[in-house]
């Protein structure tokens, strides 16, 4: 049995693996798996479809009902083009802060969760800590669903799931859901003096963009329901963040590509928006094909994130409130894996150390104070599970 590492020592190891979402996380997963195994915990991998990445789940303590899931993602956003004052893939402590890529989002919580899982095993807790580590969270929350499904099959039911995204240890009970699409518009090139005989991919794509603008105006003007009113802004938003297309000012554009993403307030179903977006695209597609049958619009869904809906008498919420003493109402407008856990029937909340404001930034950090608060939370959780 190997030496028990402190949360801080585990954090050092986790940050040293440059698990940027576009790259493999298998070195990190190998390390976690071996570390857990050295303390008698057998972890289960849930590999990505292409095998270059993996999620991992494990159980520390007795394989009995009534435990708690601690969930985090292993991937981090890139550091390209960012001005860092120390090595992003090495934890550097200065002025009461731990600097490093992922320190706050969210290897700090991952380290605490791994530590707690090993503690639960060492203490032989009758109610276990279930550890859940995913991949590809930062590229649309796409690497956790299979893991959650596999956990539900393999492990006993739990009191709740705590997703440790940075919330300053506040108990977040709701977040928006959403989905992202790539839109590929294929036109037909002619000299622009004859544009009536061609199809301009940019100008046809603009029709769909205008559709988005019109929906945003309607959404902003509507009276929010009580659930939506908790959010800022209190309505669903639709966003287009990138676009490219065309080759020259006097050629009707052959191609135009852009990305549409939705952030839906709980209660506003993404499935309905999927239908409406596809109908709008189909109408434009038909116009284009009437001029040139080879022209058209293709929609490809990149990701879909279910919202986290505040639960009535939620068990995860009650537990997190008891452990943190936080009785405030908190919802956030970004997505997390909590919505997926809830979708699979788990009671779920977001509660983790550090501030989302330092996530994705150059010189990302978690304060030592928040890291310690996270460790204190885990200690109190272990006490709760042993009671």
Given the rule CB under 5 A, which residues bind Zn ion?
A: 105-106, 165
Please, what is the minimum distance in Å from the beta carbon of residue 258 to Zn ion?
Answer: 25
Of the candidates 317, 350, 348, the one whose C-alpha atom is nearest the C-alpha of residue 332 is 350
Concerning whether 364 is annotated as a catalytic residue, the answer is: no
Q: Yes or no: say if 68 and 318 are a contact pair by the CB < 8 Å rule.
A: no
Query: Which residue's CB is nearer to Zn ion, number 7 or number 335?
Result: 335
Please, what is the minimum distance in Å from the beta carbon of residue 68 to Zn ion?
Answer: 19
Query: Which residue's CB is nearer to Zn ion, number 187 or number 354?
Result: 354
Calculate helix-pair angle for 368-386, 107-122, nearest 10 degrees.
30
Enumerate long-range contacts of 271-277, CB under 8 Å, 24 or more apart: 273/179, 273/236, 273/238, 274/179, 274/301, 276/215, 277/181
Q: How many CB atoms neighbour CB 230 within 10 A?
A: 17
136, 137, 159, 337: the active-site residue: 137
Rounded to whole angstroms, how far apart are CA atoms 145 and 160? 17
Nearest residue to Zn ion on Cβ basis: 105
Query: Which residue's CB is nearer to Zn ion, number 108 or number 160?
Result: 108
Q: How many CB atoms neighbour CB 101 within 10 A?
A: 27
Please, what is the minimum distance in Å from the beta carbon of residue 152 to Zn ion?
Answer: 22
Query: Which residue's CB is nearer to Zn ion, number 134 or number 252?
Result: 134
Q: Is 167 left (phi over 0), alpha (psi -120 to 50) or beta?
A: alpha
Rounded to whole angstroms, how far apart are CA atoms 76 and 89? 11
Of the candidates 78, 20, 30, 76, the one whose C-alpha atom is nearest the C-alpha of residue 54 is 30
Please, what is the minimum distance in Å from the beta carbon of residue 287 to Zn ion?
Answer: 41
Query: Which residue's CB is nearer to Zn ion, number 110 or number 165?
Result: 165
Q: CB burial class (10 A; 0-12, 13-18, 19+) of residue 353?
A: buried
Please, what is the minimum distance in Å from the beta carbon of residue 12 to Zn ion?
Answer: 19
Please, what is the minimum distance in Å from the beta carbon of residue 102 to Zn ion?
Answer: 9
Concerning whether 255 is annotated as a catalytic residue, the answer is: no
Question: At 19, is the secondary structure helix, strand, or coil?
Answer: coil
Alpha helices in 68-154 (DSSP H): 107-122, 145-154
Query: Which residue's CB is nearer to Zn ion, number 33 or number 165?
Result: 165
Contacts of 324 (CB under 8 A, 6+ apart): 169, 170, 171, 351, 377
Distance from the Cα of residue 111 to its chain's centroid:
18
Query: Which residue's CB is nearer to Zn ion, number 75 or number 189?
Result: 75
At CA 102, angle to CA 366 and CA 370, rounded to 5?
20
Please identify every residue annotated as catalytic. 75, 137
């Amino acid at each position: 049995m190997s030496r028990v590492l402190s949360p801080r020592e585990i954090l050092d190891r986790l940050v040293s693996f440059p698990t940027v979402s576009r790259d493999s996380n298998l070195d990190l997963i190998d390390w976690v798996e071996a570390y857990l195994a050295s303390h008698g915990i057998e972890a289960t991998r849930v590999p990505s479809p292409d095998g270059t990445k993996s999620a991992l789940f494990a159980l520390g303590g007795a394989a009995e009902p009534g435990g708690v899931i601690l969930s985090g993602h292993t991937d981090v956003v890139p550091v390209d083009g960012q001005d860092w004052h120390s090595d992003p893939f090495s934890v550097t402590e200065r002025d009461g802060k731990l600097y490093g890529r992922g320190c706050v989002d969210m290897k700090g919580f991952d380290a605490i969760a791994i530590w707690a899982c090993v503690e639960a095993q060492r203490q032989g807790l009758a109610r276990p800590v279930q550890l859940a580590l995913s991949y590809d969270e930062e590229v649309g929350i796409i690497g956790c669903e299979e893991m959650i499904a596999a956990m539900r099959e393999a492990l006993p039911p739990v009191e709740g799931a705590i997703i440790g995204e940075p919330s300053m240890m506040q108990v977040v009970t709701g977040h928006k859901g959403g989905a992202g699409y790539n839109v590929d518009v294929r036109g037909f090139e002619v000299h622009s003096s004859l544009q009536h005989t061609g199809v301009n991919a940019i100008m046809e794509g603009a029709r769909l963009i205008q559709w988005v603008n019109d929906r945003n105006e309607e959404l902003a003007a509507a009276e929010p329901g009580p659930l939506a009113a908790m959010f800022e802004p209190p309505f669903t938003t639709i966003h287009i963040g990138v676009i490219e297309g065309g080759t020259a000012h006097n050629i009707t554009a052959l191609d135009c590509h852009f990305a549409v993403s939705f952030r839906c307030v709980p209660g506003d179903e993404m499935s309905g928006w999927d239908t409406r977006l596809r109908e709008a695209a189909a109408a434009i597609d038909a116009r284009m094909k009437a001029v040139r049958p080879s022209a058209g619009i293709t929609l490809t869904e990149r990701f879909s994130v279910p919202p986290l809906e505040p639960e009535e008498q939620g068990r995860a919420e009650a537990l997190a409130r008891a452990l943190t003493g936080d009785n405030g109402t908190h919802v956030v407008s970004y997505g997390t894996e909590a919505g997926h856990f809830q979708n699979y029937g788990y009671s779920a909340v977001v509660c983790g150390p550090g501030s989302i404001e330092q996530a994705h930034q150059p010189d990302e950090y978690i304060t030592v104070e928040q890291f310690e608060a996270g460790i204190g939370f885990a200690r109190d959780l272990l006490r709760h599970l042993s009671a």
